[in-house]
Amino acid sequence: MKRMPLKAKVLSENQRVAEALRKTYKKHGILCLNFISAPGSGKTQLLESTLAALDPETRVAVLTGDIQTDNDARRLARYGFPVKQICTGGTCHLDGHMIENAMSDWDLEKIDLLLIENVGNLVCPSSYDLGEDAKVVLLSVTEGEDKPLKYPGIFFKSQLFLLTKVDLLPHLKFDADLAEANARRVHPEIEIIRCSCTEAGGLDAWLTWLKNKMKAAKAA
């Protein structure tokens, strides 16, 4: 009998769990977004500002992955929505089992939007389907315009690219148009939004995208 390499085995087991998660989200009418970036690109800050901006009646829940510490969950829990930290204990990505376990004591009928902050890493999380409706990749303006070309996997798989911290552009030699063109070389249809969590209105386009996505999910 031909033996399957271990990595392929792990990925195919994850795929099985991801398909089950996808069905679960569909059954309960949950829109799930998986946020991926290098450490420090601003995932937690974006989610904090998003939770602060959402109507308190929005039925949103957050899972946040980290190798160590529950810092991010503590930051996110301040907004009054259910939040759980997933500590991976060294693993550089979240997988389907971790999501299943973390949600096991949540009443999924009470959730319309599930936001998952992945472990800070631009490579490993891209291989692990979490059953999400869309991956959202973040790249901040301090990271270099070439990153979509150097880490094409995640830009290829993401529906949306958020270029973060654009309030810093006046202080940097960063060509935002070039970064976006590089992302489009990898994934011509990728949607791109420039964001800032420190400027008034800096998240308006992102919040509109999110609300439209929620409306579309409800109508489906």
Residues making contact with ligand GTP (CB under 6 A): 37, 39-45, 72, 120, 164-165, 167-168, 196-198
Return the residue nearest Mg ion (CB atom): 44
3-state secondary structure of 60: strand
Decide if residue 118 touches Mg ion (CB under 5 A). Answer: no
The one among 72, 129, 143, 145 contacting Mg ion by CB under 5 A: 72
Q: Are 92 and 128 in contact (CB under 8 A)?
A: no
Name the CA dihedral angle for 52, 168, 188, 118, rounded to a multiple of 10 degrees.
-50
Decide if residue 145 touches Mg ion (CB under 5 A). Answer: no
Q: Of ligand GTP, Mg ion, none, which one does residue 145 interact with (CB within 5 to 8 Å by kind)?
A: none
The one among 14, 37, 41, 44 contacting Mg ion by CB under 5 A: 44
Q: Which is nearer to ligand GTP, 18 or 136 (CB)?
A: 136
Query: Over the range 92-107, which residues count as b (16 or more CB within 10 Å of their CB) and which as e?
Result: ebbbbebbbebbeeee
Task: Give the interface segment with Mg ion, choosing from 66-74, 159-167, 183-191, 194-202 (CB under 5 A).
Answer: 66-74
Sign of CA dihedral 153, 155, 160, 165: positive
Q: Tokens 């990898």 correspond to what residue? A: 186
